[in-house]
Amino acid sequence: MKIEIWSDVACPFCYIGKRKIEKAIAKFPHKDKIEVEWKSFLLNPDQVTQPNKSSEEHLAEVKGWSLAQTREITANVVKMAEEEGLDYHLDKSVVANTKKAHRLLHLAKTQGKGDEMKES
């Protein structure tokens, strides 16, 4: 069975979902018959990279939330990630367009290294 997963490298929920599906497949009795193919999804294809703006500031602006509210929400996402064995530092992330990262993923995929690059 082939499973196609559409995700953006900037999406914290996508990485959490990656861990969850890996755990589910590991428990599946026919896991050797599972093929996972990662597809690119640009959450915001027109996003301008802004290395001097934190993702929390950006999220607060676009959602109309206060910075305190945004930090509370991202703290919950960090907790969700921890439950899946991931160590997030969303307070240190910056605003970036992910198109080049997706291009790199596609290049890695042509070299048989797509899964390794997705994990990186």
Q: What is the DSSP letter of 102?
A: H
Enclosing H/E stretch for 118 = helix 114-119
The answer to whether residues 69 and 109 touch, using CB atoms and an 8 Å cutoff, is no
Beta bridge partners of 38: 5
Tens of pLDDT, residue by residue over 74-117, are 999 999 999 999 999 999 999 999 999 999 999 999 999 988 99
**What is the phi/psi pair of residue 23, to 5°?**
-65, -40
pTM check: above 0.85: yes
Structure tokens at 4: 């196609």
pLDDT tens per residue across span 38-56: 999 999 999 999 999 999 9
Mean pLDDT on 48-69 = 96
